[in-house]
Structure 1
Amino acid sequence: MKNLKLPIIIFVIVFVISTAAFIFFINRDSEKNITDKVDAPSWIHENGSSGRLPISAKVVNQPVTTQQNATANNTSTTSNANNNALSKSLNIKKNKTSNLAAKVTKIKDSIITNLFLENLAGYVADNYQPTNSLPYNPAHGYSSASFKGINTYFGLNLMGLMPEADNIISARKSIWKNILSQGMLSKEYEKYHESFMDLIEEKGITAEKKFALGEGRSEVRSFTAKERAEMFSVSAAPLRHVAAVLTSIAENPDIIQAMDGYIKAEKRVESANAVFQSELAKSNYSQSVVAKNKASHAGKILKDAITVREKIKAGISNKIKSFCTGPCDTPEDSFYIAKWVFRRAKGNQSRIESILSGSKLLSKLANQMEIRAEAIRNNM
């Protein structure tokens, strides 16, 4: 044990001296001025060394030796090359991402889609009723397509119309805002009308309907070439009707102004009916003379409101027919179209002009259908 005392004493002395020296140097370095700032090394990309992360214009000052400068100079060329390659790679990836995002945005912003055209062509073929087809068994082929029918068909679930919207109501607004913007209808027509005609013909080839054979017999078969030609001819008729009605409305602002009066009369009927239903319920509950008189009076007010509303409606339908230069012989459908125009336009002259442009395109499409029908007949 005595032999170990001397080495232990020496070790303790050395340890104390080393610790004291270590603390001294730390205190000396901590007193250095670190507020001086220098520019970042030149090889760092101005947008960050990775090409994406921002950098500070200044960094904390540290002693730079001659050897460090030499090392920095020797490695600057390599660093520049590496960063240029990295930047180029990142730019390529960024461009690819941007192109992909642009394509996604284009799909989202597109109102007319291939699915919509497929469904629209299917609607045309489905509403063609050939001679002797069931369940109607008509003597002559016709199209049951209508403005109201097609508006309902696509208005409930859009059926391939694809705007970027949160719900069905905002989607409809988005659709008509885009379609009725200046020049949009003409642009979409020129882009899609040929492929749309081809899709209709394709639907006519693949379609099948049940036909009556007489004596309670029937058969399911596809359309003949003659029937496909007829499908195009009769499908042009509803287009001409809608085009004529739209033209008469768009060219005569009095009709739209009268529709404003109809909407007010319609609201008055709704209000009068609510009062009548309330008074009628009270009358049935109390059975008093006063309550019955109030119900009778409310019923008279409702009847008068309905009379005024129907007079305005008839007046609008008659005015459309008087201005119409085409097939406008279905007043109910004509009035529905007028109401639709009022809701979409509401005095917006730009939209009214777009609707007038649309009516001309419908006439043009009807002509294209007649031409396609003739082409099918010539190839029979």
Structure 2
Amino acid sequence: MNKFKLPIIIFAAVFVISAAALVFFINKDTEKKDDEKVEAPAWIHEEGSSGRLPIVSKVVQSPTATPATTKDSDLTKNQTTAPKAEKKSESNASAVAKITKKIKHDIITDVFINNLAEYIANNYQPAGSMPFTPAAGYSSATFKGINTHFGLNLMGLMPNADNLISARKTIWETLLAPEVLTKSYSNYHGILLDIIEEKGITAEKNFAIEGRGTELRSLTAKERAEMFRVSAAPLRHASAVLTAIAQNPDLIQAMNGYIKAENRVEDANSIFQETLAESNLSQTVVSRNKTTHAGEILKDAIMVREKIKDGITDKINTFCTGPCDKPADAFYIAQWVFRRVNSDESRVDSILSGSKILSKLAGQMVKRADAIQKNI
């Protein structure tokens, strides 16, 4: 028995040293870049706010907005300085007029309006149309689809831009002001609807004919009316989701946690790929154990990220008072809002203004559909 004692002691010592080295190197590779722990907020699967920011109907006010709480002395002061207020109002109106003029000449062009109308008309899929032959007409347009369609090459937006990145920055810096958005809607929505109707008249689509293959024909008046009616649905969806996000700061705050969790997944995956390559090369027990441990860390990081994503989507549906039946699109909209307001919280006011405009445009589309229907 004594002759086995020394080899056993040596084996135990080697095992302990190897385990200690494994833990040391894994901890070194997976060391966090900061001390902040990334995890799902406590409210993610609970009702109500996290407590950090209240769930309220009010949003961050723009610099030009009137404060919600005004003292009596302030009201008296405002009454005695009415002429100054009028001058300031005139100055603001003049500034908006200048910005609107800049939008007309430098950003929103006739080419963009035409392309936007064409996008809306092309995404209308009447009943029996190819290739999907739906039983009822619908619009395949989405917030993500339209953002991607015009975001990649601007499609008539700001044609004189030096490059795509600077153009996007200028467009949002100019448009993301409630007064400017309202004025732009007032100037262009009628023209847009007219061009959409024109596109519907000239459009030709392939329709499946039972027993006779397909036929290429123009849209009927009934289908043109339906085009406006179903095209209003994606606008109402985007409006409802934008409102739910803008009115609940916790959702925007949770997006910040999601971005951190997403970065943690990328870091963990990078370490896992390195250890996997090392394991395949060395084929040692230590390297295989190291890879297994790195894989577990990656798995945990992904679970946290997805938990936050699902929680945000669930909360959007909870707070939404309109059609919020597309979770993937809703989360994309939440990401879009976060990118817009992360550097400037006052833009939340503009997001709310934009959501109201989308709802108004949807209503105008339904009215246009009714008008076409009456003339059949």
Q: Is TM > 0.5 for Structure 1 vs Structure 2?
A: yes
Which residue is equivalent to 2:225? 229
The separation in 2 between residues aligned to 1:247 and 1:264, in whole angstroms, is: 24
| Correspondences of 1:112-151 after superposition (within 5 Å) | 112-151=108-147
For structure 1, the 5+ residue unaligned runs are 1-101
1:340 aligns with 2:322: no
Q: Which moved more, 1:218-227 or 1:180-189?
A: 180-189
Any unmatched runs of 5+ in structure 2? 1-97
> Shift of the alpha carbon at 1:106?
4.9
Identity of aligned residues (%): 66
Number of aligned residue pairs? 277
Q: What's the offset of the Cα at 1:288? A: 1.1
Q: Report the equivalent of 2:176.
A: 180
Show the counterpart of 2:15: none
Segments ≥4 residues shifted beyond 4 Å: 105-109
The one of 252, 259, 275 aligned to 1:256: 252
Which of 154, 158, 163 is the aligned partner of 1:167? Answer: 163
Instruction: Give per-residue Cα distances to partners, 1:263-307, cap 9 Å, x unaligned.
Output: 000000011111111111111111111111111111111100000
8 Å contact 1:225–1:376 — kept in the other structure?
Answer: yes
Q: What's 2:280 paired with? A: 284
Letter in 1 for 2:340: R
Amino acid at match of 2:140: S
Q: Hey, what does 2:75 align to over in structure 1?
A: none
Cα distance in structure 1, aligned partners of 2:215 and 2:237: 33
Partner SS, residue 107 of structure 2:
coil
Contact 1:165 1:174 in 2 (8 A): no
Task: Classify 1:176/1:256 alpha carbon distance in 2 versus 1 (closer, same or farther; 3 Å).
Answer: same
Match of 2:267 in 1: 271
Alignment of 1:293-372 (within 5 A): 293-346=289-342, 348-372=344-368
- SS of the residue 1:327 aligns to: coil
Greater relative contact order: 1 or 2 (C-alpha under 8 angstroms, separation 6 or more)?
Answer: 2
AA at the equivalent of 1:326: G
Q: Is residue 200 of structure 1 aligned with residue 200 of structure 2?
A: no
- Aligned-partner residue type, residue 304 of structure 1: D
Distance, in Å, in 2 between the alignment partners of 1:287 and 1:108 is: 65
Q: What CA distance in whole angstroms lies between the structure 2 residues aligned with 1:189 and 1:106? A: 15
Amino acid corresponding to residue 303 of structure 2 in structure 1? T
Supply the AA of the counterpart residue of 2:350. S
Residue 351 of structure 2: SS of its match in structure 1? helix
Take 1:348 and 1:280, find their aligned partners in 2: how far apart are those partners?
A: 42
User: Aligned-pair distance for 1:205?
Assistant: 0.6
Q: In terms of mean alpha carbon deviation, does 339-348 or 111-120 score higher?
A: 339-348
Report the Cα offset of residue 203 of structure 1: 0.5
Query: Do the aligned partners of 2:178 and 2:353 also contact (CA within 8 Å) in 1?
Result: no
- Select 1:189's aligned residue among 185, 196, 214: 185
Please report the TM-score for the alignment, with normalisation by the length of structure 1. Answer: 0.71
In the alignment, is the contact (CA less than 8 A) between 2:178 and 2:354 conserved in 1?
no
Counterparts of 2:183 and 2:372 in 1: how far apart (Å)? 27
| Residue 153 (structure 1) aligned with residue 164 (structure 2) | no
Question: Which structure's CA Rg is the greater one?
Answer: 1
